[in-house]
Amino acid sequence: MNKILLIIKREYLSRVKKKSFLLVTFLVPLVIIGIYALTIYLTARSFESNRAVVQVIDQSGLFKGQFTDTGQITFEEITADVQEAKTRILSADGKTLLLIIPDNIERAGAVELYAKEPAGLSVQTAVSRKIEEVLRDRAYAKAGIDRTVLDGIDPEVTILSREITEDGEKDSSAGAAMGVAMTLSVLVYICLFLYGAQVMRGIIEEKNSRIVEVIISSVKPFQLMMGKIIGIGLVGLTQFILWIALSSALAGVASVGLLDARSVRTEMERQQPESDVSIKADADRPASGMFGKAARELGKIDFQAIIITFLLYFFGGYLLYSALFAAVGSAVDSETETQQFMFPITIPLLFTYILSFGVLVNDPHGPLSFWLSMIPFTSPIAMLVRIPFGVPGWEIALSLALLIGGFILTTWVAARIYRVGILMYGKKASYKELFRWFRYNG
């Protein structure tokens, strides 16, 4: 037992001490936050740099004095000849645009916007909004509708999804649950392969460098295999726990970033004074608006439970699959030879992974979902996909028990192949061969 601890320690420390581990552990959350921050920053920047002068030739005469400057766009009403104005645009810089409103604007519903470079989307939106507003006001006036009355009528319906359970009612959220479920399925799928492959590579390395014979003259092959599997598994757990810790720490920074984003939005909307009211409401009333809605939906999900079940299923699934990866690693001399054995290992995971985007998410409590979340080979993904939708405790307990049973079985099978495989140098193994190894005594 002491020896297996030594092996776990070596496998763990030799990986955790690597620069690449630290890099990945600290960079991944930073990169995610960084991308987030960069998006916000660039969005903010784009508003600053998009200042433009729009020269307006209003042939309809409907818009006289209607164009008020925004922080972004300065409007100039001019009365020049169209051709002449166009030539002037050519000699002006790219930030000067020419807007021609035809006299049949009310019928045609189209204006022409000339510029040396294609006009930016935000300028186009601002211009068209302004024109639409003026036209709408005219239409309201014609129909005898008071605009202030109309603005006051703004019905909005939010669906408050509630589950009835034996413990009483609770909020549930299909949308957010779906998002979380998919994220989890991707994460488990990638991580099972990532860390399973590390086990396989470690074993091939030991076999190739021939140290394996020295080691197994001191410890049992089973101890070496389990030590490696557990050691690398702990590396994976360490990475996740650090990621979770770092992410929650950075969430503080992120929420500041979120505030920034709001101020950007406010800034953006401020340029259209008419919608000022709704923005204020946005900030104060989290029930409406995308940000608030997402936050509220996510708030309904029990993240603590999800993180715990995620870690349990990741580790269980990892133990089950990495034992198989270990058997594959012991049977080959190089990574290129692993293909033929990897395929059957990949199938159940890939199958569940693909299903998770369709069947499992749409029908998380159906029979297929239930059975997939019970079979140990598929449950690490299937159950995690179901969990955000709420799964009865007994199902989780049964599934975990089956997973543990499954991993004991695969470990037993793998260990029998492994103990023979690691001593077979330069021999290309076939399935028949593996089966024969499995049946060897001692």
Partner 1 sequence: MPVSQRLNGMLDIRNIVKQYANHRALDNVSTHVEKGSVFGLLGPNGAGKTSLIRIINQITAPDSGEVYFDGQRLNPDHISRIGYLPEERGLYKKMQIGEQMLYLAQLKGLSRKDAIDRIRHWFEKMEMQSWWHKKVEDLSKGMQQKVQFVATVVHQPDLIILDEPFSGFDPVNASVIKEEIQTLNRNGATIIFSTHRMESVEELCDSIVLINRSRKVLDGKLKDIKRAYRTNTYRITYLPSDQDITPLDGVFTIESLEPAVDHTTLTIRIAEGHTINDVLAYLISRVQVHELKEVIPSIHDIFVQQVTTQITEPQTHEQNTTDH
| Residues lying near partner 1 in the complex (CB under 8 A) | 3, 6-7, 10, 14, 205-206, 209-221, 423, 425, 436, 440-442
33/424 with CB nearer partner 1 = 424
Q: How far is the CB of 226 from partner 1 (least distance, A)?
A: 14
- Least distance (Å) between residue 211 CB and partner 1: 4
Nearer to partner 1, 389 or 437 (CB): 437
Q: Which is nearer to partner 1, 80 or 214 (CB)?
A: 214
In the chain, count of helices (H) and strands (E)? 18, 6
Q: Cα 81 to chain center, whole Å?
A: 54
Closest approach, Cβ 415 to partner 1, in A, equals 14
Shortest Cβ 235–partner 1 spacing (Å): 16
374, 430, 431, 372: which is closest to 400 by C-alpha?
Answer: 374
- DSSP for 349-383, written as a single string: HHHHHHHIIIIIHHSTTSHHHHHHTTSTTTHHHHH
Q: Which is nearer to partner 1, 412 or 425 (CB)?
A: 425
Coil/strand/helix, residue 52:
strand
CB count, 10 Å around CB of 369? 23
Nearer to partner 1, 2 or 158 (CB): 2
Residue 372 neighbours by CB under 8 Å, 6+ apart: 352, 355, 360, 378, 379, 382
Residue with tokens 């036209």: 135
Distance in Å, CB of 3 to partner 1, minimum: 6
CB of 200 to partner 1, least distance (A): 17
**Distance of alpha carbon 3 from alpha carbon 199, whole angstroms:** 18
Q: Name the residue nearer to partner 1 (CB basis): 107 or 439.
A: 439
CA distance 301 to 265: 27
